[in-house]
Structure 1
C-alpha cells in the first residue's frame, strides 16, 4: 500500500506537496503549494498558457494524470458550483487558521501557500501526519499591518471591500499591488521567506483583476 510520504514525493517534480489529510469513510489528502515552487515549473510549455485559467488548467492536467496512476479520485477547488469545501477540509487536515485578510494563514508559511486539489481514496493511506497543535499567529500579532497597508483600505475588521480593491487595481496597473502582489498580504510578517516571487504575485493579481465583471 502506498504511503503519504511516497505520494508527497510523487508531487515534488511539479512543485506540489501534500498538505495533510484525514479519513472518514474515505481518505482525503490535500494537495497544494508552498511559496513559489510551482512558479518555477509552470509556464515552461506553450500549452501551459491555456486560457481562460492557465494555472488551473496546468494543475488539472498534472493532478488528473497522477490520480490515474494512484487509482483515486481528484477534486479541485475551482470546479463548481457546487464547490468542494476546501477551507473546511484544510482546517481539519492542516495547521491553518482564518486571517484578517480572508485566506487561511499557516504558522510557518504565513499566507504564502494554497490548496490546489485533493486526492480521495476509498482505502486508508498510511503515514498521514497528525495535525500540529499550534495556535494562530494572528492571535499574537498586535499591530495587524495587513489591515493598514492597502492603499484604499479595502481590508478592515468588517471584511474585504472587493469593488474598491478592483477599482484601484484597474486604475493603477503599474502599482506595487499589481507588479509585486497584494501589499496587504505582503505586509504580514509570518512566513516572509516563503513569499511569492514578484512575477508569481503579479500573475495572481492579473488573474484576479480579469475576474471583475464587465461594466455595462
Structure 2
C-alpha cells in the first residue's frame, strides 16, 4: 500500500482475509494495528485453508495471512503466541477501542466479550486513526456478572479451579458453545459452535 493509505481502506482489506481490524494506536512516527477474527468470515475461511488439517491450525493460518498482509503494508507482523511475548493486552487498551468489562475481561464494541487477537502489524508511518468509541458496557445491565452457572467468573474475580471443574461436568454447555459469560454479553456476536469448541478445547483439554 502507498504511504497515503487511509484507515478507511484497511477494514475491508482485512475482512476479505477473514480478519477484523479491531483498533490502532500511534507509536511515535509509526502505527500499530490490531487484528482479530472476523465473526462472519474467519471460521469458514480457516476451515477451507491448507492449515485446517495441520496441528495448531489457527496460529499457522494467522502467521501466514498476517505476515503476507504486513509485507504488503510494508510493516512487520507480531503475534500473541510464540516468543518473544508481545504485550497485546497493553496494546488493546492503548488503542482505546478495547475496554475492561465488569468481569475484568476485555470488551470491544463489535466483538463484545469474544474479542481476541490473531496478530498485529506495525508500520513505520502514521495512519490517521478514527476516534475510539465508548465502551459497550456503558448503560449495559451487565448480564455477564451473573451468567456463569457456577459463579466462577463475576465482578468479584475469576475462580479458575471452579471454572475447570465445571468444564469437566457433563452438564455444562460451555465446552460446546463457548464461555457462558462471554455469550451473555449483548455486544458479543454469535460464533460458530465449532469455532467456540475449538477454543474451549485449547483452554481446557480433555
For the aligned pair, the TM-score class normalised by the smaller chain equals 0.7 to 0.9
Deviations 1:72-107 (A, max 9, x none): 111112233x52222222222242211133331124
The answer to whether the 8 A contact 2:19-2:42 is kept is yes
Instruction: Name the counterpart of 1:197.
Output: 192
Return the alpha-carbon distance in structure 1 between the equivalents of residues 136 and 74 of structure 2: 38
Gaps of 5+ in 1: none
Deviations 1:176-207 (A, max 9, x none): 1111111122122x225x22122221111111
* Structure with a larger share of its residues in helix: 1
Gaps of 5+ in 2: none
Residue number among 21, 24, 29 corresponding to 2:27 in the alignment: 24
Residue number among 88, 95, 98 corresponding to 1:96 in the alignment: 98
The answer to whether the 8 A contact 1:35-1:112 is kept is no
Residue number among 160, 180, 204 corresponding to 2:177 in the alignment: 180
Return the alpha-carbon distance in structure 1 between the equivalents of residues 169 and 50 of structure 2: 30
Return the alpha-carbon distance in structure 2 between the equivalents of residues 70 and 102 of structure 1: 34
Deviations 1:36-69 (A, max 9, x none): 4211211223532322x32111111111122122
- TM-score of the aligned structures, taking structure 2 as reference length: 0.85
The Cα shift of 1:208 comes to 0.9
Q: Secondary structure at the match of 1:90?
A: helix
Instruction: Name the counterpart of 1:128.
Output: 129
Q: Do the aligned partners of residues 22 and 66 (structure 1) sit closer, same or farther apart at CA in structure 2, a change above 3 Å counting? A: same
Report how many aligned residue pairs link the two structures.
202
The Cα shift of 1:108 comes to 4.5
Residue number among 29, 34, 56 corresponding to 2:59 in the alignment: 56
The Cα shift of 1:139 comes to 4.7
Cα RMSD, aligned residues only: 2.3
Q: Do the aligned partners of residues 158 and 49 (structure 1) sit closer, same or farther apart at CA in structure 2, a change above 3 Å counting? A: farther
Residue number among 166, 186, 203 corresponding to 1:168 in the alignment: 166
Q: Secondary structure at the match of 1:20?
A: strand
